Every structure is written in structure tokens, then in C-alpha cells.
């Protein structure tokens, strides 16, 4: 039998009615003759609640217990989905991560999937099961403990299953009807894309567009999974939603295909560090060891052998970064005058494979921000993206201005 993977995000399983609706969609595919693997998220809001409980109980929590708690949301929806399908006379069974098993690394709260043996589920398909409902977002470590895959990780579960079971397609059902030129909640001019290249989707996801977890796009690209994003709220035709595909499948592209943003950034500046060989390693080594995800880095000009070093990181890692820098100062590895944290910044990025062949994208981006009177604090670029750090209060304005400037409401 051909296999199909269908993933339902939090809002698509938010209550029993929604689960029924999703189950009906699954039933349609079963009727077409597919063996279906359904991946479910926790009911929307549930994971946030569980994370909140962990933080309240133990601010510097043991990550193994964090995983034990937050993985539970998906267990509930997996069981309820299997029961709903059974009520519809569809032979279905739920699977927790460890039962499959989804084998992961032991990096608790951000584990990576290493392997998904297919024998157990395939044996049940062989016995007449039509739907395997798998709890997303989780797996089991070599030590036999429950792990989770990082926020939004059910997308990655879905793509990993599609690769492991050689599925015909991986459909990601969510609360929007596809991938848009920017978050439709921020710009009402956002336009749905019929297709987007893996590389662009990868950049958009990693720069903050949470419609797909970054790692899921990486996996889809590597294992050539046919990946589609579509709405669970509307009746869907076979070509609905957005197909994430190889660049070659795109007819033509604009210089910029999307605008992404990340709200909760911080800009940290070490004032007056010695400008000597090895200084960057002495700063960023301890930050990495402390688990700080440094993104943008700028070293300012040197004066009398001293310089300022600026970097950005997620705002909830500021305390960790400060601690790491203070320790490095105390141990004599680095010496600085002051560490200034600006916790009111956001990152806005434009992304497009068309940038490789179009000149002037950066100039246009900067001019558009200037027209809105938005000051740029840090800039980084790569072959297919340009990111700027700006004051958070201007984030929405910047996204809308850039969307207009690059005429993203119009197709290429
Ligand atoms: P799910 O619970 O189904 O996994 P998520 O909330 O994780 O859903 O992701 C869907 C959300 O991603 C949308 O509601 C939308 O606000 C947001 N989003 C951000 N950027 C984009 C984009 N470029 N296209 C579509 N949605 C986007
Ligand atoms: N429930 C998890 C989260 O909210 C995983 C997911 O929904 O993808 O992050
Ligand atoms: Mg998600």
C-alpha cells in the first residue's frame, strides 16, 4: 500500500470537534487506499501550559524531567485521535514515541531524530491497521528516557516518518492554508505561495517563520520528501496549499520571495575588549559552552588596541550570556569595560533565491526602512537573505514596508 503522512498541528486538534474534523480528512485518504501515518501535536496552548508548570516548579530544571512533562500533551491527542478514528470504523492505533520507537540523541529539549525503525508499525499495517497515530515532538534517548525535539518539533516528526516510510507525500495541516510571503497575521497583503524552494523555506523558518520547524525542512530537503503545507479548516483539493520543492520546479522567482521576523531578540555589546588575536574565540567559546545561540556578530573599529564586540541572541538567553561573560572576565580570559544588553530588538529578514541574480536588494531594503524612519542596529547577509536588527516596536511596520517595497503581493 502507498503510505501518506498527515500532520495536524495544535489548532487542528484543539478540541474534540477539531479532532473529529481532522479524523474525517484522514478517513478520506484511507478510502483512497493509503496506509496513513498521522502525526499529532498537543492541543493548542497545552505545551505552553506544561512549559509554564515546569518553569514555576523548577526555574533551572533538569531537562530530562522537562521532557517527561512537555511530551505528555501529544500523548493525549494521539489517543483521542485513534479513538475518534475507531468510532468511524477506521482501524487505528496510537503510538507514543518510545513505542515506535523514534530513536533520538540524548540532547533533552532539543533532541535530534537518529533513526525510526519501521518494523513495529509495518507489522501492524500488515495485520490490518489502516492508521498509525503517532505522538509528535518526541522520541526516546539511548538511555531509554523520553526526549523532545524542540518547539514546533511535530513538523520534524512528520517529515522523519515520511522519509523512513518512503511516503508518497507529507501533508502538514495547520491554521493557515499554506506558506505566505510573510506571516498573514502581520500583513494583510501577505500572499499565499503555490510553491516555495526548500532553500528559501529553510531560511524563512530559521529566521522566525514558525509555519515549519527548521529541522523539518532540512530533513525534507535531504531525503527528498514531498512536503506540503495546507489548512485543516477548509475542504482541500489535491493541489491545495503550498508545495515545498526543489528550486528547479519553480518557474520564475522574484528577487525576494518572503519576509520573516523574530520578535524576541537581544543585542549585547561588550564595551572595550582588547583587540588581539584570539579575542573572538575567547568570547564566543564560553557563550557556546553556556548554550547561548549567538546569531549576528559585529566587531567595531579598533581604537588604541581596544574595540567593542556586538552580538545578538534570543532574549531569554541574556542572563545566561551575562553569566558566561562575567565568569570569563573573572577567570581572566577576557577583559571588558561593560556589557550592555538591549532587550527590545527584533530581527527582520528578506529571503529569496532570486537575490543571487538580482543586484540592489540590500540598498532597496535599507531605503525602505529609512523612509519609515527605522534605525538599523545590526546587518547580516548571506547569499539568499539579508537580516537587520531594529527596535522591536517597529517590527510590524518594517515587515509591512518591506512587503510593499518588494511588491510581494504580486506574483513573479
Ligand atoms: P501548528 O500548530 O499547526 O504547528 P504553528 O502556529 O506552529 O501551527 O504555525 C502556523 C503559524 O505560522 C501561522 O498561524 C502563522 O501565524 C505563522 N507564520 C509565520 N510565518 C508564516 C508564513 N510565512 N506563512 C504562513 N504562516 C506563517
Ligand atoms: N506541541 C509542541 C509545541 O507546541 C510541538 C508542536 O506542536 O510541533 O512546540
Ligand atoms: Mg508548528
* Residue 152 in contact with ligand 2 by CB distance below 6 A: yes
Q: How far is the CA of 277 from the centre of ligand 1 (A)?
A: 43
Q: pTM, whole model, 2 decimals?
A: 0.93
User: For 138-292, where are the alpha helices, taking DSSP H only?
Assistant: 154-164, 198-206, 214-223, 279-289
If we measure between CA atoms, which residue out of 400, 313, 311, 297 comes closest to residue 348? 400
CB-count exposure of residue 144 (10 Å: 0-12, 13-18, 19+): exposed
CA 116/CA 101 separation, integer angstroms: 6
Q: How far is the CA of 173 from the centre of ligand 3 (A)?
A: 10
- Cβ-based neighbours of 182, under 8 Å, separated by 6 or more: 190, 209, 258, 259, 260, 261, 399, 403, 408
* Residue 109 in contact with ligand 2 by CB distance below 6 A: no
Question: Residues 256, 408: contact at Cβ < 8 Å?
Answer: yes
What is the pLDDT at residue 64?
96
What is the pLDDT at residue 292?
92
What is the pLDDT at residue 250?
83
The DSSP secondary-structure symbol of 83 reads H
Helices (H) and strands (E) in the chain, counts: 12, 18
Residue nearest to atom 9 of ligand 1 (CA): 211
Q: Show the low-confidence residues of the chain (pLDDT under 70).
A: 236, 252
CA 412/CA 410 separation, integer angstroms: 7
Residue nearest to atom 12 of ligand 1 (CA): 211
Among 211, 227, 231, which is best to mutate for testing ligand 1, by the most ligand atoms less than 8 A from CB? 211
What is the pLDDT at residue 236?
67
C-alpha 303, offset from chain centre: 40
Among 7, 54, 153, 173, which is best to mutate for testing ligand 2, by the most ligand atoms less than 8 A from CB? 153
Q: How far is the CA of 278 from the centre of ligand 3 (A)?
A: 40
Question: Residues 225, 170: contact at Cβ < 8 Å?
Answer: yes
Ligand 1 shell residues, CB under 6 Å: 9-12, 41, 152, 174-176, 179-180, 182-183, 185, 204, 209-211, 258
Question: Residues 408, 257: contact at Cβ < 8 Å?
Answer: yes
CA 199/CA 193 separation, integer angstroms: 15
What is the pLDDT at residue 193?
95
Q: How far is the CA of 279 from the centre of ligand 1 (A)?
A: 39
What is the pLDDT at residue 97?
98
CA 283/CA 268 separation, integer angstroms: 12
CA 216/CA 162 separation, integer angstroms: 11
Amino acid at each position: 500500500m502507498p503510505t501518506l503522512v498527515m500532520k495536524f498541528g495544535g489548532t487542528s486538534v484543539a478540541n474534540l470537534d477539531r479532532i473529529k474534523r481532522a479524523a474525517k480528512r484522514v478517513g478520506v485518504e484511507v478510502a483512497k487506499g493509503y496506509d496513513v501515518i498521522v502525526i499529532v501535536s498537543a492541543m493548542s496552548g497545552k505545551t505552553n501550559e506544561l512549559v509554564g508548570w515546569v518553569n514555576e516548579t523548577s526555574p533551572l530544571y533538569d531537562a530530562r524531567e522537562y521532557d517527561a512533562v512537555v511530551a505528555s500533551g501529544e500523548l493525549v491527542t494521539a489517543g483521542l485521535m485513534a479513538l475518534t478514528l475507531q468510532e468511524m470504523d477506521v482501524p487505528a492505533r496510537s503510538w507514543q514515541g518510545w513505542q515506535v520507537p523514534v530513536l533520538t540523541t540524548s540532547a533533552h529539549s532539543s533532541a535530534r531524530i537518529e533513526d525510526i525503525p519501521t518494523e513495529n508499525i509495518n507489522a501492524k499495517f500488515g495485520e490490518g491497521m489502516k492508521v498509525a497515530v503517532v505522538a509528535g515532538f518526541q522520541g526516546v534517548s539511548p538511555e531509554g528516557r523520553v526526549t523532545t525535539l524542540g518547539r514546533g518539533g511535530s513538523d520534524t516528526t512528520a517529515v522523519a516518518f515520511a522519509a523512513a516510510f518512503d511516503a508518497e507525500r507529507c501533508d502538514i495541516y495547520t491554521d493557515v492554508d499554506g506558506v505566505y510571503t510573510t506571516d498573514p497575521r502581520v500583513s494583510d497583503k501577505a500572499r499565499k505561495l503555490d510553491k516555495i524552494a526548500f532553500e528559501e523555506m529553510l531560511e524563512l523558518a530559521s529566521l522566525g517563520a514558525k509555519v515549519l520547524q527548521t529541522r523539518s525542512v532540512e530533513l525534507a530537503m535531504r531525503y527528498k520528501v514531498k512536503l506540503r503545507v495546507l489548512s485543516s479548516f477548509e475542504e482541500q483539493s489535491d493541489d491545495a496549499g503550498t508545495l515545498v520543492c526543489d528550486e528547479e520546479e519553480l518557474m520564475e522567482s522574484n528577487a525576494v520571495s518572503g519576509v520573516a521576523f523574530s520578535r524576541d531578540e537581544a543585542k549585547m555589546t561588550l564595551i572595550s575588549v582588547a583587540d588581539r588575536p584570539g579575542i573572538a574565540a575567547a568570547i564566543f567559546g564560553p557563550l557556546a559552552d553556556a548554550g547561548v545561540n549567538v546569531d549576528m556578530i559585529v566587531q567595531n573599529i579598533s581604537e588604541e588596541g581596544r574595540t567593542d564586540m556586538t552580538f545578538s541572541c534570543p532574549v531569554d538567553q541574556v542572563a545566561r550570556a551575562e553569566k558566561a561573560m562575567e565568569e570569563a572576565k573573572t577567570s581572566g580570559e577576557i577583559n571588558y569595560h561593560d556589557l550592555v544588553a538591549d532587550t527590545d530588538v527584533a530581527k527582520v529578514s528578506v529571503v529569496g533565491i532570486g537575490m543571487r541574480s538580482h543586484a540592489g536588494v540590500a540598498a532597496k531594503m535599507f531605503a525602505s526602512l529609512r523612509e519609515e524612519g527605522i534605525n538599523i542596529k545590526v546587518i547580516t547577509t548571506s547569499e539568499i537573505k539579508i537580516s537587520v536588527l531594529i527596535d522591536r516596536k517597529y517590527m510590524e511596520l518594517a515587515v509591512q514596508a518591506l512587503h510593499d517595497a518588494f511588491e510581494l503581493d504580486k506574483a513573479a
